[in-house]
Structure 1
Amino acid sequence: MSLGDFLGFLHSQLRVTLPEPTTRFTNQTIIVTGANSGIGLAAARQLVSLDAGRVILAVRSLERGEAAVRDIAASTGRAGVAEAWELDLARYASVEAFARRVIAELPRVDVLLANAGLYHFAFERAEDDETTITVNVVSHMLLALLLLPRMRETAARHRAGRPAVISFTGSFTH
């Protein structure tokens, strides 16, 4: 890559205004893990502003999750759409309990945005595996598999043949 190519790339990343989203999420139920801060919070806020029917902030700390719910309501003017539910991805029992609650309380799940993640510099264990792998990969896969039947039902009943969406986010930073 030449210097000119690199500078062109930098310019394209720093000087481009992203288009406003046009997709609406009317009546859809969306789960966002790690939604009390960072990209997860921004995504949840955007989904609420795009008319989502219900946005579940799946968070490790209910206190921080409730603060995020208040922040989203204040910034979007849409109170009662976002709600915080406890989910500790370092514990499989928490993932299973969260999935049971989803099945019991949510008649539909249109989108799972698997966003939560962490990055530890020191080796730590969670559920007999390295914590980063447990939280960022294994628990999100477990959650997706546990929610898949409800998401298939949602697609069949509410999405006119369009599949429900499972999206995994991630980066080196977590």
Structure 2
Amino acid sequence: MRTFLSPGVKRKSVTNFDRVFSGPCAARKEKSNVTMMQRLVTCIRDCLVELESEDFSDADLEKWAVLIFESMSAPTRMFHGIQHIFDVSHGISKPLPILGAFFHDIIYYTIDGGLSSDQAEVIKGIIDEEEGGVVRLKQNLVLPDGSEEDKLVMTVASIFNIQPGQTLNPF
């Protein structure tokens, strides 16, 4: 497995980057020896640590960073690439808006011509893709173990006024 974590950096350690603003990875001075992927992994880690999350591993950090990086680097993303997420999060000092900025553009179904395998894995159980390109929000939105309604997905759907079973607008 490839790794994008800086050598010797432990999950909860303080990073050695100079901070320009306060808060997790709000805007780091870019160093030539730090790749965008390393910067992304470190920023996600910093946000989760500030949120006092214990429920993630280095493999999780890497998986999330790769999802963001590959989604934003797709050939169809001519309008903006990976730098866009750092531009959007520039100057933000709170971890949730930073994470929101990082994940806000990862899925553009029509622009990308569908889902990558990593994107499909993330939203597995949320949409149904039918013949002819019809995409619907699943009728029964339950947690992966089937135990109860997925409240997070239902909250996001309600923000966009989307009901279970509704055909999603391709544009």
TM-score normalized by the length of structure 1: 0.27
TM-score normalized by the length of structure 2: 0.27
Report 1 or 2 for greater relative contact order, CA contacts < 8 Å, sequence distance ≥ 6: 1
Query: Whose strand fraction is larger, Structure 1's or Structure 2's?
Result: 1
